[in-house]
Amino acid sequence: MYKYDHIDQTLVDQRVTQFRDQVERRLNGTLAEEEFRPLRLQNGLYHQRHAYMLRVAIPYGLLSAKQLRTLAFIADKYDRGYGHFTTRQNIQFNWVELEQTPDILAELAKVEMHAIQTSGNCIRNITSDAFAGVAADEYVDPRPICELLRQWSTLHPEFAHLPRKFKFAINGAKEDRTVLLCHDVGIELQKNPSINHGELTANIYAGGGMGRTPILGSLIKQNVPWQVLPSYLTALLRVYNRFGRRDNIYKARIKILVKALGPEEFARQVEGEWAQLHNATKQGKDNFTQAEWERVAKHFTKPNYKILSVLSDEQLQSHAQSKLDANEKIAFTRWLERNVKPHQVPGYACVILSLKPHGTAAPGDATSAQMNAIADLADQYSFGELRVTHEQNLVLADVEQAELLNLWRAAKNYNLVLPNIGLLTDLIACPGGDFCSLANAKSLPIAKAIQERFDDLDYLHDLGDISLNISGCINSCGHHHVGNIGVLGVDKDGEEWYQITLGGDQGNDASIGKVIGPSFYANEIPDVMISIINTYVEQRSTDEPFIETYRRLGVIPFKEAAYKNNGKHSKGAAV
């Protein structure tokens, strides 16, 4: 993975010094809270319900074992012994003190980490495919571009006070695991022999987003050579900075601007700006150079893989037969099926460690003991590196197939091998009303209740792939819009209610879910889930996943089932 050079290290060290001074001015009263707020947000510091929360960037999802140990150390020393992995490749600490944040940031800087631009109206942490560089379906390894753009966007002076937050996602694989179209800018990388001399180019999507107005991004520019991304993105952001709405926070995202202008007109304005930035007299001084590419790309070479032969699932299982008892055999087989993914290199596999135990911890939470254990596992089995997924799980990306059983055993001790990846209980949830000041409703108890109600692994496996995403408010940090089943907490007359959406999806067929009707009380949600799932089970054809059944039948049978028994509780009007 990427290693900081002198430039990167100097920058994060100096950023800590800058923030230390700002915190001091805040504490001695010379800097007002209103003016401190954007500064702390751009250093990842939120003021939450109970305490300050610190959001630390894990750029494009890559972490080293050493960094993870530092996160565990921070959790113990400055927090309550755990951290929360988010849907956008960050980790959050929920109980930090303002006075201590400069020290925490200094600890992070020692291991090449920071919290720069993880919040605020600026370019946020750039996210990508958690399986970048190892995914079997990858066209282009996106990580060098992610890193070049991370550097380009870090402390960008012109875009430090945009109308609203601005999120990039970058994908280079056939399957989209980045929720590309739900980002302000989605960058799809490709190589085409007839374009840019066969070198990397990008298709640019803009104006996607979730929140109050979920919209999928529009393609606004094709085949942008990688070298000119800085000037093209400067043009795009400049148009947004100048013309994005600032009069209404709910209409300030780029999606509203793109929608108001229309994607064609927006693209035309960006093109006009870009022509000026990129004209001949400027000689492409903003372009990424080959030397810069090499400086970054050399860190993303393949690790020292062994020459191994591929093991089939049957071989893996029979290899394990003699070493496991009957229950373990079932568990291990299921784990191979759900939590182990194919790898580019023969004899290797990607392993997803589930941070979704049924009802015993919040989705995405990891204790410091787990973090230290995972760091050890990464050292032992996966070249000392790991990744964070959009679904709030962790990945050991380079595991020898022959070591899978040993890894499974070791990870089992830390409750990390629940074979539920991609299943209903592998749900995404924001911290919700338990922690977040924005939330209208709690997310975690809903997640817990659903996980407890669907605690039968046989049944879950039979149901197959279903994504369930839960947000505690319309800000949609739980990405409920793109869940096959989405749950959104809403506030009605001071009470917490939950609205259900169906038919959302991420990936290449990304779609926004539709609200099925009036919202439900919290205690009705597990029964509503059962009704929806039963409808699917009754109606599905062989091997048809939930989303396909929904698309074939439409909302009506699901809606009827959901309201059959619950209609008497729910309020008459959809929110």
Binding site for another protein (CB under 8 A): 5-7, 10-11, 14-15, 17-18, 22, 25, 30-31, 35, 38-39, 121, 151-162, 230, 238, 241-242, 246, 276-277, 285-286, 289, 291-292, 295
- Quote the least distance from Cβ 501 to another protein, whole Å: 33
Task: List the 168-171 sheet strands across, edge first.
Answer: 127-128, 168-171, 185-191, 200-206, 218-225
* Three-state secondary structure readout of 466-517: CCEEEECCCCCCCCHHHCCEEEEEEEECCEEEEEEEECCECCCCCECCEECC
Report the residue number, 94 or 153, with the smaller CB distance to another protein: 153
H or E element, residue 96 = strand 90-96
3-state secondary structure of 133: coil
Report the residue number, 50 or 242, with the smaller CB distance to another protein: 242
Report the residue number, 25 or 341, with the smaller CB distance to another protein: 25
Rounded to whole angstroms, the Cα distance separating 535 from 549 reads: 10
Residue 460: C-alpha distances to residues 369, 429, 480, 543, 552 (Å): 28, 19, 20, 14, 22
- Quote the least distance from Cβ 159 to another protein, whole Å: 7
- The full DSSP string for 401-423 is GGGHHHHHHHHHTTT---S-TTS
Report the residue number, 29 or 494, with the smaller CB distance to another protein: 29
Report the residue number, 17 or 360, with the smaller CB distance to another protein: 17
- Quote the least distance from Cβ 110 to another protein, whole Å: 18
Report the residue number, 98 or 410, with the smaller CB distance to another protein: 98
- Quote the least distance from Cβ 162 to another protein, whole Å: 6
Name the phi and psi angles at 200, rounded to 5. Answer: -60, 135
- Is 574 in contact with 499 (CB distance < 8 Å)? yes
Report the residue number, 18 or 344, with the smaller CB distance to another protein: 18
- Quote the least distance from Cβ 129 to another protein, whole Å: 23
- Quote the least distance from Cβ 259 to another protein, whole Å: 20
- E-state strands within 238-283: none
Other residues' Cβ atoms within 10 Å of the Cβ of residue 259: 16
- Quote the least distance from Cβ 268 to another protein, whole Å: 14
Query: What residues form DSSP beta bridges with 123?
Result: 166
Give Cβ neighbours of residue 305 (< 8 Å, ≥ 6 apart).
Answer: 345, 348, 398
